[in-house]
């Protein structure tokens, strides 16, 4: 279980390039679990994407896909890394920045602790093979009982893969943020370090408002600087009814 310094959501503005980010938390009224997933990208392929939602009576899946008519600009490697199910809502919630979402889903059981689901499913996964950055894989999970966890799979300082798991106590008005990069725009991009950041969620009162606030917080500090935003989704799940969730997506290319 983690204990960390608390940050205001506005702190995101200081993270010039976080890559992808996940926030797990609760709304201030203790009525909903909140899941945020946001994408920033610098390359042409990363920018040419959107989040598309597929829903059935049993499951909701949010896919990261190429913008229509842009598929020919993606290599096979790019398709493997840049196209994936970012979010699955079924009996619980699973979110990640890659195709490991499907492995986490396969290991998910409603009564299994979230941290156990992540450790069972990620033990064979490594960081992305995109030298020199070696982008980490980030994941999150919430069960119907409120068990929650985040995971970070990244290149170890010397060699090999570091797999780090965080069990999270979900509290009203608080969230936990994990991103692929530290936010500094350097080369190679520095991976996220330390424990997830605790975020004040007092302003995130609805899925629409939450998506808007996070998306706007990732805007460039000045109009002259490049805009790395690609997409942002906000999920609100009633604590006692996972099937009655609300999902809002902002895709930059649709604005």
51 pLDDT above the threshold of 60: yes
Q: Does 70 map to a domain?
A: yes
Please report the pLDDT score of residue 6 as a whole number.
Answer: 57
Q: Which domain holds residue 223?
A: 6-254
3-40 residue pLDDT tens:
444 567 777 888 899 999 999 999 999 999 999 999 99
Please report the pLDDT score of residue 124 as a whole number.
Answer: 95
221 pLDDT above the threshold of 50: yes
Write phi, then psi, for 187 (nearest 5 degrees).
-135, 120
Return the structure tokens found at 81.
């890394």
Q: How confident is the model at residue 122 (pLDDT cuts 50, 70, 90)?
A: very high
CATH number at residue 194: 3.60.20.20
Please, are residues 158 and 137 in contact by the beta-carbon 8 Å criterion?
Answer: no
Please report the pLDDT score of residue 2 as a whole number.
Answer: 40
81 pLDDT above the threshold of 90: no
- DSSP-derived secondary structure letter, 124: T
Please report the pLDDT score of residue 74 as a whole number.
Answer: 65
Please report the pLDDT score of residue 45 as a whole number.
Answer: 81
The residue to which tokens 């649709």 are assigned:
254
Please report the pLDDT score of residue 92 as a whole number.
Answer: 95
Q: What is the pTM of this model?
A: 0.94
Q: What is the average per-residue pLDDT within 214-220?
A: 93
Q: How far is CA 18 from CA 55, 88, 155, 210, 246, in A?
A: 29, 22, 17, 18, 25
Q: Does 1 map to a domain?
A: no
- Beta bridge partners, 21, equal 38, 179
Q: What is the mean pLDDT of the chain?
A: 91
Please report the pLDDT score of residue 1 as a whole number.
Answer: 41
Return the structure tokens found at 147.
């068990």
Please report the pLDDT score of residue 216 as a whole number.
Answer: 93
Structural domains counted in the chain: 1
- Beta bridge partners, 10, equal none
Which range, of 69-78, 104-113, 143-152, averages the lowest pLDDT?
Answer: 69-78
Please, are residues 14 and 169 in contact by the beta-carbon 8 Å criterion?
Answer: no
Which range, of 97-101, 148-152, 155-159, 206-210, averages the lowest pLDDT?
Answer: 155-159
Please report the pLDDT score of residue 83 as a whole number.
Answer: 87
């Amino acid at each position: 279980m983690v204990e960390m310094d608390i940050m205001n959501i506005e702190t995101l503005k200081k993270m010039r390039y976080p890559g992808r980010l996940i926030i797990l938390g609760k709304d201030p009224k203790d009525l909903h679990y909140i899941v945020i997933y946001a994408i920033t990208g610098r390359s042409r392929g990363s920018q040419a994407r959107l989040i598309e939602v597929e829903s059935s009576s049993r499951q909701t899946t949010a896919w990261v896909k190429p913008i229509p008519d842009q598929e020919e600009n993606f290599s096979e490697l790019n398709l493997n890394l840049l196209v994936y199910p970012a979010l699955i809502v079924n009996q619980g919630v699973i979110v990640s920045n890659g195709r490991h979402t499907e492995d986490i889903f396969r290991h998910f059981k409603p009564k299994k602790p979230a941290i156990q689901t992540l450790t069972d499913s990620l033990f064979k996964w490594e960081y992305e093979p995109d030298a020199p950055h070696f982008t980490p894989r980030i994941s999150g999970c919430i069960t119907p009982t409120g068990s929650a966890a985040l995971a970070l799979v990244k290149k170890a300082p010397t060699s090999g893969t570091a797999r780090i798991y965080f069990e999270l106590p979900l509290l009203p008005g608080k969230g936990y943020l994990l991103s692929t990069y530290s936010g500094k725009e350097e080369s190679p991009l520095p991976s996220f370090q330390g424990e997830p950041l605790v975020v004040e969620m007092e302003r995130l009162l609805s899925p629409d408002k939450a998506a808007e606030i996070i998306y706007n917080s990732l805007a460039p500090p000045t109009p002259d600087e490049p805009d790395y935003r690609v997409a942002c989704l906000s999920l609100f799940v009633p604590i006692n009814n996972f099937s009655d969730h609300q999902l809002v997506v902002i895709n930059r290319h649709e604005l």
